[in-house]
Amino acid sequence: MKVLIVTTPVKPIGQGEGGGVDVSLHHIIRALTHRQHQVSVIAPKGSQLDADVDAKLIPIDGELQQSCQVHAPNTRFFCDDDCVLSRMWSAALAHQDDVDCILNLAYDWLPIWLTPFLPTPVFHLISMANENQQVANALQRLNHTAPERIAFRTHAAANTFSFSHPVTTLANGYPLAQFPFSPDGDGSIAWVGRISPEKGLEDAIRIAVRADMPLKIWGFEQDSDYRQALTREFPPSILQWQGFVPHQTLLQQLQHCSALLMTPKWVEAFGNCVAEAICCGVPVVAYNAGGPAEIVENGTTGFLIRPGDLDQAAAALSHVCQMNRTEVRRQGHQRFSLEAYAERLEIWMGLQRTTHSRHSTSKRQDPPRPLALG
């Protein structure tokens, strides 16, 4: 089967501002091509795919879309002929007759609104919680007519919307052979994410100060003023800025940390870094909210803490660092294999329903109704 993926219009792939969407895109490509599907990707000009993924990249020039994360929930977004979002979807319309389905990874109203008007099925894998009313309205309208076209990473993210029909939940999967493992931690704590206030880095720093452990910080610097304020407020002996690095480099460095902290201020829709740390055998201390609460198995792969309880989190670090890292890794591999992820994607998008393309004499069947596929 042939799948066309349309990515986020916020930044080119591989530059960091796409966050977890960039990571998820590559794993989706790996999962689908592993099952012999052909994948094409529409993305902003300047995008780069990892060398090991087999997909045709279709770059689109245009004005990048602003991220709704830095705007008030009632902000309305518009796009004209110069906007990369509208140009990406013009390209999707031009290519739709050549594919069996389209997978949208953008958190934006336009592709959701377009869905009923396209003869080629469009599916939406939503990687954020309810952060914008314009997007929420579009999703709620689509949920009323075609709930099977919508999937979320976790129940926590889906539950931030007011849907009349259930939607699919679809946990991520990873190429586990690429995930390194160190049986011992080096005494440092990891924090991974965009350097932006909603990610709650200041809480992680305060926890590290209480635990008297160095904090290694990886991520794209989305808000330089925020980082500078943190640098002024906290002792440099605690902060170890690692910057934004290639994903495989991140995993190679992350494996040596004694634990990972996850302290978001917003509803984290999934938390790739949480699952990735666990798959490397690195236990996690996370706020008991959002996606991480559905990933961390309390007492087995880490500990879940009351949001904002810095003392409890610091105390948990002393316990989590004693966990059996081999068992943490085993649990991660059991839950997040790429093979299982590929099967979940096929079920959701109906790709396993027939061995023929929609271009053959055997017409593609509709996908099943929403299921919990996490």
| Backbone CA torsion sign across 269, 340, 57, 125 | negative
Closest Cα to residue 95, out of 1, 33, 4, 28?
Answer: 4
Of residues 103 and 68, which shows the higher confidence score? 103
pLDDT of residue 363: 38
pLDDT at 163 over 80: yes
Which tens digits make up the pLDDT trace of 199-243? 999 999 999 999 999 999 999 998 999 999 999 999 888 899 999
pLDDT at 68 over 80: no
Lowest mean per-residue pLDDT among 4-18, 50-64, 182-196: 4-18
What proportion of the chain, given as a percentage, has pLDDT over 90?
Answer: 80
Which tens digits make up the pLDDT trace of 352-371? 755 445 554 333 445 545 55
Region at 36 (left for phi over 0; alpha for psi -120 to 50; beta for the rest): left
Q: Assess whether the region 2-173+340-349 and the region 176-331 belong to the same CATH fold.
A: yes
Which tens digits make up the pLDDT trace of 178-197? 999 999 999 999 999 999 99
**Mean pLDDT taken over the chain:** 91
pLDDT of residue 85: 94
pLDDT of residue 236: 86
Instruction: Give the number of other CB atoms < 10 A from CB of residue 357.
Output: 15
At residue 114, what is the residue type?
L
Say how many CA atoms lie within 13 Å of 202 toward its Cβ.
13
Q: Any idea which architecture 2-173+340-349 has in CATH? A: 3-Layer(aba) Sandwich (3.40)
Q: Which fold is adopted by the domain 176-331?
A: Rossmann fold (3.40.50)
pLDDT of residue 70: 60
pLDDT at 266 over 60: yes
Kindly provide the residue ranges of all beta strands, DSSP E only, lying in 208-268, ordered along the sequence: 215-218, 239-243, 259-262
pTM above 0.95, yes or no: no
pLDDT of residue 286: 98
Which tens digits make up the pLDDT trace of 13-50? 987 665 678 889 999 999 999 999 999 999 999 999 99
Indicate the domain borders of the chain. Answer: 2-173+340-349, 176-331
Instruction: Give the number of other CB atoms < 10 A from CB of residue 177.
Output: 6
Backbone angles phi, psi at 287, to 5 degrees: -65, 140
Q: In whole angstroms, what is the distance from residue 20 CA to residue 10 CA?
A: 13
pLDDT of residue 125: 97
Q: In whole angstroms, what is the distance from residue 336 CA to residue 323 CA?
A: 20
Which tens digits make up the pLDDT trace of 79-118? 777 899 999 999 999 999 999 999 999 999 999 999 999 9
DSSP run (H or E) holding 230: helix 224-233
Q: In whole angstroms, what is the distance from residue 97 CA to residue 95 CA?
A: 6
Asked if 176 and 279 count as a contact pair (C-beta separation under 8 A), the reply is: yes
